[in-house]
Amino acid sequence: MKKRIVYVYGAFLFAILGLLTACPKSNVNADAEFDKYKEAFVLRLWEMNPGWASGSGYHKYDSVLVVPDKERQSKEREFIQKELDQLNQFESEELADANQIDYKLIKNYLDASAWELAFFKSGEWNPSNYNICGGFAEMLANNYAPLDERLRNFSIRLKNVPAYYKAAKANIKNPTKEHTQLAIEQNRGGLSVFTADLPASLEKSTLSTKEKNVLLARSKAAQNAIEEYASWLEKLPNPNPRSFRIGSKLYAKKFGFDIQSDNSAKEIYQSALIHKKELHQKMVKISRQIWNKHMGSKAMPENEYELVKQLIDQISLQHTQPDNFQKDIEKQIPELEKFVKQKNLIYLDPKKPLVVRREPDYMAGVAGASISAPGPYDKGGNTYYNVGSLNGWPTERSESYLREYNDYVLQILNIHEAVPGHYTQLVYSNNSPSIIKSIFGNGAMVEGWAVYTELMMLENGYKNSPEMWLMYYKWNLRTTCNTILDYSVHNLGFSKEQAMNLLVNEAYQQQAEAEGKWKRATLTQVQLCSYYTGFTEICSLRKELMKKQGKNFSLKTFHEKFLSYGSAPVRDIRELMLSKN
């Protein structure tokens, strides 16, 4: 099935996100009207996008597979225009803070969709846009309705698969080699939904023989269509493939829509370059300080890169054992909570403890840790901290993994994923749910917050030691270089050699990790910038408020207020926070 791309620290699944209070100055009627509009908008959005609806836990359209043909595109354009017209009837300034942000998020989504259709046109050059397997897999894996009911919808939805791939082929023009290869791999990989998962589910079902036979015939036709699509792509004459680099013009626009920042992509890139230099200086300084402590009488290398690299390698040997991996993570959560309370950094709701669990089988292979939160239609659901098991890994692989997640980095990971990072942010945004923010929540804010908390905890003395700081800087360097890499690849024609030099020789990454990052930069655009952009914007906002409020500034108040707006772009939170202080 189509694998979810798992970002740096593991998958972060959105939950019900929202806001705390309404602005007293706002127009009550306008807000009531806008609330009604939002509700109706979401229902129309799901009707237009049945696959997205199912993935968000709204199952009314499970049996529908949209065929991406020309007719569909004009329907989309019509939908966007109609919604923009409706949105324009509201004066955003008359709305409460929460609704002002929702307004901007809806508008941004509609503008971005119109731009995709008219200019970006990834449906023409990215064949991996077309893949039906993931949606079908979820219908079998997620137990949201009785199995027979899910299988009946599955069967109806299968009918459109051949038409779906026919339309896909008609849309594709001059695709990139990289996305063509990805499409072939992912579509073929997805076939197992029909060859393995489906038969297993049918066995457990009580469908009649006739129903089963109809379903199996449709499944066969779907498999043929998928295989035919893959082999068509393999044989597609493509003498001058389009470059995977999207170029400065498209990049600047996409950055604007995806990140929603006050800064341009170029400004963020330049800031990342400066930040990288500062990190290097700090790392060299610490390394000189603690060289003898770790390396004894071994001569200190003159080359600064070698100096830092050797120390990092040495300190990385301090790590847990495979069997203790989950226990160690579990042990750290109360320590983090205790520290946050002691230092008065942010209020943690004691009624919402984090449940640590071994990662469920369907997520297996995604090592590390991730947060799973209930979707917008699953309000009672638990939030879990999934910890990957290293059981059954070859020794060499788990050793290399544990060196990466050594005793220092493991703590930073827990800050990032759990307390006061993603998990804490989630609890705050759940306090007053907004379905708009759960659908269009801003990834740069969410990741930026988690990255910001790593620094904030260390600044406040969490497990303070030079070793901790050295490892933190290495970790932060990764985030910083993600931005430099993504920008350079798409705007400056960075070659693979240049990329490897940046990641391996300047960011101390292993070859395998660097190769993976290069691949990701060739297949995606802008997303790799979200961590650093959100981080640096939150740091700047904090600085601005400290200056403005002087001795009245309270870190705790800043954090709680900042999170109270939900997963909104930092730019919009900044505007609201500065206007009120």
Which member of 105, 193, 265, 450 binds Zn ion (CB under 5 A)?
450
Nearer to Zn ion, 250 or 371 (CB): 371
Determine if 412 is a binding residue for Zn ion (CB under 5 A).
no
Residue carrying the six token digits 């070659």: 495
Nearer to Zn ion, 9 or 41 (CB): 9
Q: Could you give the CA distance from residue 148 to residue 310 in angstroms, rounded to a whole number?
A: 59
Q: List the beta bridge partners of residue 386.
A: 357, 370
Q: List the beta bridge partners of residue 369.
A: 387
> In angstroms, what is the minimal distance from the CB of 168 to Zn ion?
32
Site for Zn ion in 258-287 (CB under 5 A): none
Nearer to Zn ion, 419 or 450 (CB): 450
Single out the segment in contact with Zn ion by CB under 5 A; choices: 110-118, 241-249, 347-355, 440-448.
440-448
> In angstroms, what is the minimal distance from the CB of 370 to Zn ion?
8
Q: Could you give the CA distance from residue 215 to residue 225 in angstroms, rounded to a whole number?
A: 15
> In angstroms, what is the minimal distance from the CB of 482 to Zn ion?
12
265-295 and 530-549 helices cross at what angle (nearest 10)?
90
Q: Are strands 433-434 and 355-358 parallel, antiparallel or unpaired?
A: unpaired
Single out the segment in contact with Zn ion by CB under 5 A; choices: 198-206, 264-272, 322-330, 450-458.
450-458
Nearer to Zn ion, 30 or 333 (CB): 333
Nearer to Zn ion, 99 or 370 (CB): 370
Single out the segment in contact with Zn ion by CB under 5 A; choices: 7-15, 147-155, 275-283, 559-567.
7-15
> In angstroms, what is the minimal distance from the CB of 535 to Zn ion?
11
Q: Could you give the CA distance from residue 100 to residue 404 in angstroms, rounded to a whole number?
A: 42
- The torsion angles phi and psi of 57, rounded to 5 degrees, stand at 95, 15
Which member of 2, 9, 48, 471 binds Zn ion (CB under 5 A)?
9
Nearer to Zn ion, 136 or 385 (CB): 385
> In angstroms, what is the minimal distance from the CB of 564 to Zn ion?
20
One character per residue 519-558, x = contact with Zn ion (rule: CB under 5 A) = ----------------------------------------
* Site residue total, Zn ion (CB under 5 A): 3
Four-CA torsion 375, 377, 380, 383, nearest 10 degrees: 0
> In angstroms, what is the minimal distance from the CB of 454 to Zn ion?
10
Q: Are strands 17-18 and 433-434 parallel, antiparallel or unpaired?
A: antiparallel
The token pair at 107 is 């508008």
Single out the segment in contact with Zn ion by CB under 5 A; choices: 46-54, 177-185, 423-431, 442-450.
442-450
Contacts with 95 (C-beta within 8 Å, 6 or more apart), sequence order: 26, 27, 30, 31, 34, 103
Q: Could you give the CA distance from residue 427 to residue 332 in angstroms, rounded to a whole number?
A: 19
Nearer to Zn ion, 416 or 437 (CB): 416
Nearer to Zn ion, 202 or 450 (CB): 450
**410 half-sphere exposure, CB direction, 13 A CA radius:** 26
The token pair at 317 is 């040997």
> In angstroms, what is the minimal distance from the CB of 559 to Zn ion?
17
User: Which of 475, 494, 473 shows the shortest CA–CA distance to 485?
Assistant: 494
> In angstroms, what is the minimal distance from the CB of 422 to Zn ion?
6
Q: Could you give the CA distance from residue 110 to residue 81 in angstroms, rounded to a whole number?
A: 8
Q: Could you give the CA distance from residue 476 to residue 491 in angstroms, rounded to a whole number?
A: 23
> In angstroms, what is the minimal distance from the CB of 530 to Zn ion?
9
> In angstroms, what is the minimal distance from the CB of 420 to Zn ion?
13
Nearer to Zn ion, 450 or 457 (CB): 450
> In angstroms, what is the minimal distance from the CB of 11 to Zn ion?
9
Nearer to Zn ion, 409 or 450 (CB): 450
> In angstroms, what is the minimal distance from the CB of 130 to Zn ion?
29
Single out the segment in contact with Zn ion by CB under 5 A; choices: 1-9, 165-173, 273-281, 509-517.
1-9
The DSSP code for 362 is: G
The type of residue at 98 is A
Single out the segment in contact with Zn ion by CB under 5 A; choices: 8-16, 129-137, 153-161, 374-382.
8-16
* Rg, the chain, Cα only: 25
Single out the segment in contact with Zn ion by CB under 5 A; choices: 40-48, 139-147, 447-455, 474-482.
447-455
> In angstroms, what is the minimal distance from the CB of 366 to Zn ion?
13
Single out the segment in contact with Zn ion by CB under 5 A; choices: 113-121, 169-177, 246-254, 448-456.
448-456
Give, in degrees to the nearest 5, the angle at Cα 347 between 470 and 476.
Answer: 20
Nearer to Zn ion, 223 or 424 (CB): 424
Q: Which residues of 232-267 are buried (b: 16+ CB within 10 A; e: fewer)?
A: ebeeeeeeeebebbbeeebbebbbbbbbbbebebee
Q: List the beta bridge partners of residue 294.
A: none
User: Which of 342, 520, 370 shows the shortest CA–CA distance to 446?
Assistant: 370
User: Which of 368, 488, 373 shows the shortest CA–CA distance to 427?
Assistant: 373
Nearer to Zn ion, 49 or 370 (CB): 370
Nearer to Zn ion, 175 or 421 (CB): 421
Site for Zn ion in 326-345 (CB under 5 A): none
342, 462 contact by CB (below 8 A): no
* Chain residues that interact with Zn ion, rule: CB under 5 A: 9, 447, 450
